[in-house]
Amino acid sequence: MYRYLPIRKVHGRQVLDSRGNPTVEVEVTVGEGIVGVNGTTGRAMVPSGASTGTFEAVEIRDGSKRKYMGLGVEKAVSNVNTKLADAILGENALDQNAVDSLLLEADGTENKSNVGANAMLGVSMATARAAAKALKLPLFQYIGGTHAKRMPVPMMNILNGGVHANNTVDLQEFMIMPVGAENFHTGLRMCVEIYQYLKIILKEEKLSTSVGDEGGFAPDLADSREVLSYIVRAVERAGYRPKEEVAIAIDAAASELFDGEKDAYYFPGETQKKGKTVLRSGKEMVDYYKELVQEFPIVSIEDGLHEDDWDGWKHLTRELGDKIQLVGDDLFVTNIKRLRCGIKLQAANSILVKVNQIGTLSEAMDAVEMAQKAGYRAVVSHRSGETEDSFIADLAVACGAGQIKTGAPCRSDRNAKYNQLLRIEEYLGCQACFENPFAPV
């Protein structure tokens, strides 16, 4: 078995993501350099978000309106092929932490604004995949070790709103979780059936079944209560029991609703539907969530408040933290410095893990480890601008997160992750572990 596996080639290119926008793809070739041996190549594609936190690592875009409306990534690709390649050529691909440290040194900024987090992440993920292939190991096992066997419970987005859809639903994502399933493939089937029954119900009500960025349906509905009522109907119509077998999770993406001038959260969809301005203060948002949790089988709320409202998050956690999961996405941005602050303040009780928020695989793994040691849950997540790369499916199993967000079951960029998890479950066989993350210990 290899102990030293040198990086022989790094090559980046511009490809397209699920929204038809350019993104970075990287190939890293590793090998011992023996004459006649071509080496092993790993490939990775970088996702991109629409609802992005202010404190996320910076992705570099070209800005030229003549090409791709300014969204090109040729500069980032150039950085892959020059600065980042120069930094790691000849280095040991089996030492992921060392490789990622060299990438960070090549950038030299706190937020990756020099070479770009999109350039850096592509190299980091491709290195891990190349090393795994060279060792003939599944990617999840290479990253997480031989004890990696916990399959994640899907947090499946079946109804889209906010910046992910052109409709009147203000909160961004409404998801279902098969908490009563006995294994991953059964849980996935349950979610798919509910998704299809939701489509039938929306059609019966003469509502739109067009979909948003993450594949969830995007009808015009009056408010969150109406959305949740439709989801409960779909769960029951599919033959499952709300709460006991299927729970609901919400991504409010509250930073997108926050109006700094008014120091309040503006709900444009409700305003349009009700014919009067709907504003909620931070305290009113917490009260609003408490009411929804009381009325519906909600087990998780993500980004319930603005990304920099630490006092509000502390209040939200005091009020609901012992009842449901409170996930920090924009609040933590997969960054251990912000996560450490949240743990100290007892703000939220879970972290959303998005590799492109931070820029390297090692930093993402560090965030998961810090969260789990502090008793916080971790949820591995896709982005609204996804690719066919299934890397995060392996990552979720590797770090034992127990939960994954990767969209609705209707687009190949989302289903690629579900299909990879089915393969992993089959590979693990009877060793695969699947459990309700909210069950009492």
Active site residues: 214, 354
Which helix H or strand E contains 381, and what residues bound it? strand 377-381
**Phi, psi of 119, rounded to the nearest 5 degrees:** -70, -45
Cβ burial, residue 310 (10 Å; 0-12/13-18/19+): middle
Question: Strands across the sheet with 325-328, in order?
Answer: 153-154, 403-405, 377-381, 350-353, 325-328, 298-302, 247-251, 173-177, 156-160
DSSP, collapsed to helix, strand or coil, labels residue 172 as coil
Q: How far apart are CA 395 and CA 380, in angstroms?
A: 8
DSSP, collapsed to helix, strand or coil, labels residue 60 as coil
Cβ burial, residue 290 (10 Å; 0-12/13-18/19+): middle
Strands 264-266 and 279-280: antiparallel
Query: Which whole-number Å values give the CA distances from 125 to 27, 122, 246, in the listed order?
Result: 9, 5, 33
Q: Helices in 296-351 by DSSP H: which ranges?
A: 310-320, 336-345
Which runs of E-coded beta strand occur in 149-286?
A: 153-154, 156-160, 173-177, 247-251, 258-259, 264-266, 279-280
What distance lies between CA 369 and its chain's CA centroid?
Answer: 17
DSSP, collapsed to helix, strand or coil, labels residue 93 as coil
Tokens of 365: 């793994």
Question: Strands across the sheet with 264-266, in order?
Answer: 258-259, 264-266, 279-280
What is the C-alpha radius of gyration for the chain, rounded to an integer number of angstroms? 21
